[in-house]
Every structure is written in structure tokens, then in C-alpha cells.
Chain A
Amino acid sequence: MFGRLLWKLLRSNRGRLAVALVAVISGAAVVSALLTVELDMSRKLTQEFRLLGPNVVIAPKGSTQPSIGAASPTLMDEQAVFPVVQQVSSLNIAAVVPYLYFVARVNQTPVVTAGTTIGEAIRSEPTWKVTGNIPTADPRESGVGRNVARQLGLAAGSQFDISYGSRTEHVTAAFVLDSGGPEDNQIFTDLQLAEGLTGLNGVELMQIRVNGTSQQVTDEVAKLAAALPRYDVKPIRQVSAAEGNLLDRTRLLVLSMVVLILALTALCVLATMAALATERRADVGLMKALGGTITRIVGLFLAELGVLGAFGGVIGCLVGVALAGWMGRRVFGTSIQPRWEIFPLTIALMVVVAMAGALPLQRLGKVKPAVILRGE
């Protein structure tokens, strides 16, 4: 009989309950979408931040800033460090890029030059825009920053002489680089060519890009520092810290919105139930006259709200999957995977929120059957 009564209650008030149901579905949809986005945010942001380039730098102790043409820079042997990095790291190492900086001359103009593995450097910096070809095997293929290219009248395919001290090499500008940063003022040459020009053997620093969250990268840095005691191993803070800050702020924003939406949904259900409580005074009075206890009568109405919350929650979760997908495409430009573990949480939240709407039913406890049956 309980189920029968419940079904009849739901059917008899479907007009009013539809309003509450729409509120619950909307609330559940937005809550589940936001929670999906929030949970997927860490993974997405990690992916997004990977686009920002290397996140760990290794340099000889006390010289993490590039010397850029110092007379006797402190150098490191990247061939010796790299195997240690590979051995210690538990994360996926996406790129290892060595750098040897010096100030060369092109047409008598001093230009900061970075000797590196050019292809690897470009791959590690996905935000760099390259016009021309990325050098493959020819060490005489170089790259020029866009400011350098403009100043020296170079373009992709131009050939020029690059000098350091008494040595000169004839190279080709295979590409022009637009990084939006200091690299626009630099020339990039093959590392071996740079070592030949400067007569130096080694690099000043190595930039590494490891795939992982901010915390994972921090942990990785600690492990590498322990394994490389003669080197400074540091995270590139502006990336890691920014990632952490953004995640924290986004999480706070999302959770605030979830709380707000839950409160608004509860208010909507509350308003509906306040109207229904007034309409149901006569029924409650009669039920009391027939021997119904207020616990049993209100239990019926609570069950009605529970069904409303659960049903609205399920529908809302399904809508939320679509909404999260849309948000993912619009905001992140990528798909967001449904997080099924959010379903039970959202449905439970909606049941609780719907139950909160039962507060006006307290009034029904004070209904006097004699008064109701008199028609007052």
C-alpha cells in the first residue's frame, strides 16, 4: 500500500512536482557537470601545462641561471647526467634538452646563441611557432628568433656566418622562431657546432619535461636532487606553482558553485513543498482521523521527495554528462570523460536536497483533524 500511495501522491501532484523535478534535474545536471569538470580538471590542466614546456631544470650547483657568454661558465656533462635521470625518474620523461649559451657575432652584431639539440628543444616547447623546417641531421642548420631575423634581415632558408672569437661557421637559418619570449632574440645552433665554436665541452643546463601533476613533479625533483648531489635540480616554478594555484582556485570556484546550486535547488523544492503542504492539510487531517501517525504520514511525503530527488538526480546526471562534454569542448577545447563515480554522489546530494525541501511539512504535524474536518 505504501508504494501504491506513493505512486498516487506523485501522480496527483505532478504539475507542482514537475516544477521541483525540473529544479532537481537542472541542479543535478550542473552539479554533476561541474564535479566532472573539477575531477577531470587536474588531468586536463596537467595536459594543458605540459604545453608550457619543460618543468625541471638541472644545472651545476650555484649556476642555474644561464651565464650567457661568461668567460668561463660552469659546465656539466649531459651524457653523464642523462642516464641518472632516466634511472631515477618514475615518471614519463617527455624531453631532455641541453643548453650551452654564448654570445656569438653575426655580421659583427652580437647575438645570444644557444647550442642545443634543436629538434628536441622545439618538441619540448609546444607553444613555439616555427616558420620553416626543423633541422634533422645537418648540424649546420640553425634557427633564428624573429627579432634577430628582423634585425639581421634573415628569413627561413637564409645563410649566414656565425663567429665566436676567431672561429666562424657558415650556417643556414632553417627556421624563424616566434616564442613570444627571450628566445625571439636568440640564435639556435646544433650543440656540437656550438661546442666547436666556443671550444667548450659540456652544457650549462638541462631542461627536462616530465609528465605528471604539480605534486608529482615536485616529488620527482626531490628524487632527482637526491640522486644528483652535485647539481641543482629545481622545478620551473612559474609552471608548477601556477598549475597548483589555478587548480586550487578552480576547485574552490567549482565547489562554491556546487554549494550555491544545491542551495538554490533546495529553495525551489522548498517553495513547491510549502505550497503542497498547504494543499495537503485536508488529506493530512483525514489521515490523522483514520489513525495515521504524523511520522507515518510525513514518511509518505518524504518518500515522495526521495523519489523526486533520486529520479531527478539520475536524469540530471545523464544531462550532466552532455553538459560536461559541452563545457570541455567550449572551455578546454577537448573532450571530458564522464566520471561515473560522480553519479551516486550527485544522486545522494539531490535526495538530501529534496529532503531539505520537506521543512514546510513540519507544519503538517500541527494539523488538528477536528479543525480540518470542520472545513476550516
Chain B
Amino acid sequence: MAPLVQIENLRKEFDNVRALDGVSFDVQAGEWIAIMGPSGSGKTTLINILGGLDTPTSGRALVDGTDVARLDEGGLAQFRAEKIGFIFQQFHLVNYLTALENVMLAQYFHSTTDEHEAREALGRVGLADRITHLPNQLSGGEQQRVAVARALINSPKLILADEPTGNLDEANEAIVLNLLRDLHSEGHTILMVTHAPSIGQMADRRIDLAHGRLAAIEHAVRRV
């Protein structure tokens, strides 16, 4: 079976700074990959390129057979809406929309909205009683759970999580990680950027980046 994600000799430069320098690896559908490395190693750049938020300077990044680098603005928007679910470290919820509306916003840009489905997604992350709350009425952990529900609502091929627990306390970190683990067990493909080795160990594989290069070629990590 063809890999869900194929990265071939990916390079990205910002003003003569090389953020990614010939990175290549594959991800099979249903895998949970932890991307690790020090700050500035190119982790977020890699996630952004895979999610169609940024374009590579050279190389290829194929997601579900689509070469992200070849898509125009409209194609990228459609790609993001249909194939990618983002979970950001800073949550990035729209502050004037309720939890429910934030989830429905992703539906709106994907196709049509389904409030019942959005309620179910929030119920799944334990926020059934918080759907009418605005982001500033939710804790950090709750906001990140809304972001998880939003990432899942369109059944994306690939979930990209950029330090999803980076701004959470221990209790909320555990909740969010449990959610990710549940998603993985249901067959979702997850690429997660993290600094924390303990979190990285939860993934199927760990990919270490250093100075934009693959520092450690896939090595299995302990499943938790």
C-alpha cells in the first residue's frame, strides 16, 4: 500500500536560512509519528508544508497522492479543508465564536455545516456542556479540546498537531494525549511535533530533526 505521506528531499529556505535541508521519509496510513528536535530544527516548517500552509523551496511533499507544492491558492484551500486537521499549540480559536461555532467553522469551509455532528464531536472531547461558551470562558485544556474536535470534524486523512500540549498543564496534557491516543487507535494518521520525549514515546515512530536535516532515521519508540 502506498504511504499516506511521502516526503522526498524536501528543502525550505527563508532569507538564506535553510529551515529544511533534504528531508525524506514516508508515513503509512494509521501511523502516529512524533517529530522531535530542538527549536529551529525545522519541525514546524515541515508540518506547515505538509498542511499546505507553506510551500517548499524544492523537493516533494505528497499527502494522499497530492503534491502539495504544485497546488495553487484555491487548491491549497481545498486540500486543507478536505485532507488536513490542524491542532495548534496556541489553540487558535476564533474568539467571538462559541465552542460549537468554532467546530462548525471548519465544517463551513469544508462543505456544509451539521450542528448535530459538531455537538457530537464536542461531546466526544468531553465538552458537551460547554458548547455555548466562548474561548475566553474556557480553560486552556478545554480550548485545545475544542481544537481537537474542530480538527476531527471533517474526517481528515492527516492530523497535524504542532506541540498540542505545549501550553497545557499536566492534567490537561493527559486529557489531550488520551484523545490523540484514541484517535490513533481508531486509525487516524497523526504527525505530532513535540519537544517532550515522554510524549514522543507514545508515537509509533519518532523522527528527529536537527538543523533542518533528519538526524535520526525512523526508530521505533515505546508504545504507551
Query: What's the Cα separation between A206 and B96 when bound, in Å?
Result: 78
With a cutoff of 8 Å between Cβ atoms, the chain A residues found around residue B101 in the complex are 4-5, 8
With contacts A1-B108, A4-B101, A287-B105 taken as known, whether A375 is within 8 angstroms of B90 at the C-beta atoms is yes
* B108 x A5 contact (CB < 8 A): yes
Query: What's the Cα separation between A65 and B111 when bound, in Å?
Result: 84
With contacts A1-B104, A288-B77, A291-B82 taken as known, whether A8 is within 8 angstroms of B54 at the C-beta atoms is no
* A369 x B109 contact (CB < 8 A): no
With a cutoff of 8 Å between Cβ atoms, the chain B residues found around residue A249 in the complex are none
With a cutoff of 8 Å between Cβ atoms, the chain B residues found around residue A5 in the complex are 97, 101, 105, 108
Query: What's the Cα separation between A345 and B111 when bound, in Å?
Result: 36
Q: How large is the interface on A (under 10, 10 to 19, 20 to 34, 35 or more residues)?
A: 20 to 34
Q: How large is the interface on B (under 10, 10 to 19, 20 to 34, 35 or more residues)?
A: 20 to 34
* B110 x A289 contact (CB < 8 A): no
| A1-37 interface (Cβ within 8 A of B) | 1-2, 4-5, 8-9, 11-12
Query: What's the Cα separation between A1 and B94 when bound, in Å?
Result: 14
Chain B residue at minimum C-beta to C-beta distance from A282:
B92
Which of A5, A9, A294 has the most CB atoms of chain B within a 10 A radius of its CB?
A5
* A374 x B44 contact (CB < 8 A): yes
* A289 x B86 contact (CB < 8 A): yes
| B76-97 interface (Cβ within 8 A of A) | 77-82, 84, 86, 88, 90, 92, 94-97
With a cutoff of 8 Å between Cβ atoms, the chain A residues found around residue B86 in the complex are 289-290
Query: What's the Cα separation between A178 and B106 when bound, in Å?
Result: 83
B contact residues vs A (CB 8 Å cutoff) = 44, 48, 51, 53-54, 73-74, 77-82, 84, 86, 88, 90, 92, 94-97, 101, 104-110, 113, 150
With contacts A370-B53, A375-B90 taken as known, whether A287 is within 8 angstroms of B109 at the C-beta atoms is yes
Determine how close the nearest CB of chain B comes to the CB of A284; give it in whole angstroms.
10
With a cutoff of 8 Å between Cβ atoms, the chain A residues found around residue B73 in the complex are 293-294
Chain B residue at minimum C-beta to C-beta distance from A300:
B108
Complex A-B: 25 CB contacts under 8 Å: A1-B107, A1-B108, A1-B113, A5-B101, A8-B101, A9-B96, A283-B94, A288-B80, A290-B106, A292-B77, A292-B108, A292-B109, A293-B109, A294-B77, A296-B109, A368-B53, A368-B54, A370-B48, A370-B53, A370-B54, A373-B53, A373-B88, A373-B90, A373-B92, A374-B44
* A8 x B109 contact (CB < 8 A): no
Chain B residue at minimum C-beta to C-beta distance from A374:
B44
* B77 x A8 contact (CB < 8 A): no
Chain A residue at minimum C-beta to C-beta distance from B105:
A290
Query: What's the Cα separation between A289 and B156 when bound, in Å?
Result: 13
With a cutoff of 8 Å between Cβ atoms, the chain B residues found around residue A293 in the complex are 73-74, 77-78, 109
Chain A residue at minimum C-beta to C-beta distance from B80:
A291
Query: What's the Cα separation between A5 and B97 when bound, in Å?
Result: 8
Determine how close the nearest CB of chain A comes to the CB of B120; give it in whole angstroms.
17
With a cutoff of 8 Å between Cβ atoms, the chain B residues found around residue A264 in the complex are none
Report if A286 contacts B (CB, 8 A). yes
Which of A2, A286, A290, A370 has the most CB atoms of chain B within a 10 A radius of its CB?
A290
Determine how close the nearest CB of chain B comes to the CB of A272; give it in whole angstroms.
17
With a cutoff of 8 Å between Cβ atoms, the chain A residues found around residue B97 in the complex are 5, 8
Query: What's the Cα separation between A356 and B42 when bound, in Å?
Result: 42
Chain B residue at minimum C-beta to C-beta distance from A283:
B94
* B108 x A286 contact (CB < 8 A): no
